Amino acid sequence: MTGPLTVAGKRGIIRRYLDQLPVSAATPIVTLDEGDTPLIFSERLSQETGAEVWLKYEGLNPTGSFKDRGMTMAISKALEEGSKVVVCASTGNTSASAAAYAGRAGMVCAVLIPEGNVALGKLAQALVHGARVLEVKGNFDQALELTKQMADEQPITLVNSVNPFRIEGQKTAAFEVVEALGRAPDLHVMPVGNAGNITAYWKGYREAIDLGWSDSLPAMFGFQADGANPIVTGSPIASPKTIATAIRIGNPASWSGATDAANDSGGRISSVRDKEILEAYRSLAAEGVFVELASAASVAGLRQMAAEKRIPPGATVVCVLTGHGLKDPDWAIAGAPRPLTVEASIGPILEHLDLA
Ligand SMILES: *Cc1c(COP(=O)(O)O)cnc(C)c1O
């Protein structure tokens, strides 16, 4: 193809990083133009920490989270392999992304969830994109086990975090960071749930070295929530608790990926309190960046590192903001002041704005 189509053809992470991904000319590319998200300089966090802080705003992906980077790969490969159906056990961003990309590909997306206690609002995206949502009479582990069985016995592809193509797609975020900064940051800070994403970033940074795009590696710092911190405590947690639902994980699928990234890079896996996550969420929003609670764990973590004097002055730091705040607007409304009712005249309005 020539002309403008060539430019359009560079959209989406698979076309942009074709040579760095396990795809071939035979791979049908299923994309919603994911990736190429902004790396936003944070004046306030830089002043607060004495570092140069950049925010990788992954909430601006097509379905509102970084999951789209992995899903474009997982769905494209599923289609290439002749799958007609994809399945996942998720009520969150994985099912939202899987449903959108499966819809794009003309595939069926099945979402298995445990019966009862799942708020339909959490599934709004999966539902609107046409996923077949099945409530299984059992718990989450049983639902997950059934998805595995389905994938073993039928031409069905499992797109939960165990799908290796998701890590491949997600590593492209590290390429973008390196491209934007001209090198890797000194410190890389991010939330950790199932730990697929920290595994992917670390892979991406290491490949960027091999490709000659960067001549250094960052120290990798991953943050779990205090009530859901199995990697920190060293053993699985049966009932993980945190307000940050996207990282409410008691037994991470990519556990060793996270510990390898931290150990090999001179970083650390640590945890932050819900209260600190909420404070970080509010201060990011005050600076104009609306994120999901789980995403704010990275900035809460950054502050913890600053308090522990772990951030060298002037260091370049990237905080990953994994998902968009509109995913869970209840937290934005909770704790915010109610709108004031005023008379329909300018005097009282200016008074309330402290301008009178
Ligand atoms: C999936 C997700 C996470 C956790 O990522 P892992 O790869 O499971 O560690 C964090 N934040 C958001 C918004 C997510 O969707």
Left if phi > 0, otherwise alpha if psi is -120 to 50, otherwise beta: which for 92?
A: beta
pTM for the whole structure: 0.95
pLDDT at position 117 is 67
pLDDT cut 90: percent of the chain above it: 88
CA of 208 to the centre of ligand 1 (A): 22
| Residues sharing a CB contact under 8 Å with residue 118, sequence separation 6 or more, in sequence order | 91, 135
pLDDT at position 191 is 98
- Which of 37, 63, 162, 194 to mutate to test ligand 1, by most ligand atoms within 8 A of the CB atom? 194
Atom of ligand 1 nearest to the CA of 190: 10
Q: Give, using CA atoms, the residue closest to atom 8 of ligand 1.
A: 194
| Residues sharing a CB contact under 8 Å with residue 199, sequence separation 6 or more, in sequence order | 167, 254, 257, 258, 260, 261
pLDDT confidence tier of residue 8, bands split at 50, 70 and 90: very low
User: Tens digit of pLDDT for each residue in 92-131?
Assistant: 999 999 999 999 999 999 999 988 867 777 899 999 999 9
pLDDT at position 161 is 85
Atom of ligand 1 nearest to the CA of 200: 7
User: Which residue in this structure is represented by tokens 């002041």?
Assistant: 337
- Ligand 1 pocket (Cβ < 6 Å) reads 65, 67, 93, 161, 191-197, 246-247, 292, 294-295, 322-323
Q: Give, using CA atoms, the residue closest to atom 15 of ligand 1.
A: 93
Q: Which of 95, 190, 184, 89 is nearest to 140 (CA)?
A: 89
Q: Give, using CA atoms, the residue closest to atom 14 of ligand 1.
A: 246
pLDDT at position 7 is 44
| Cβ atoms of residues 307 and 270 within 8 Å | no
Q: Give, using CA atoms, the residue closest to atom 5 of ligand 1.
A: 193
Q: Which of 115-119, 136-140, 285-289, 320-324 has the least mean pLDDT? A: 115-119
Q: Give, using CA atoms, the residue closest to atom 2 of ligand 1.
A: 246
CA of 198 to the centre of ligand 1 (A): 9
Q: Give, using CA atoms, the residue closest to atom 3 of ligand 1.
A: 246
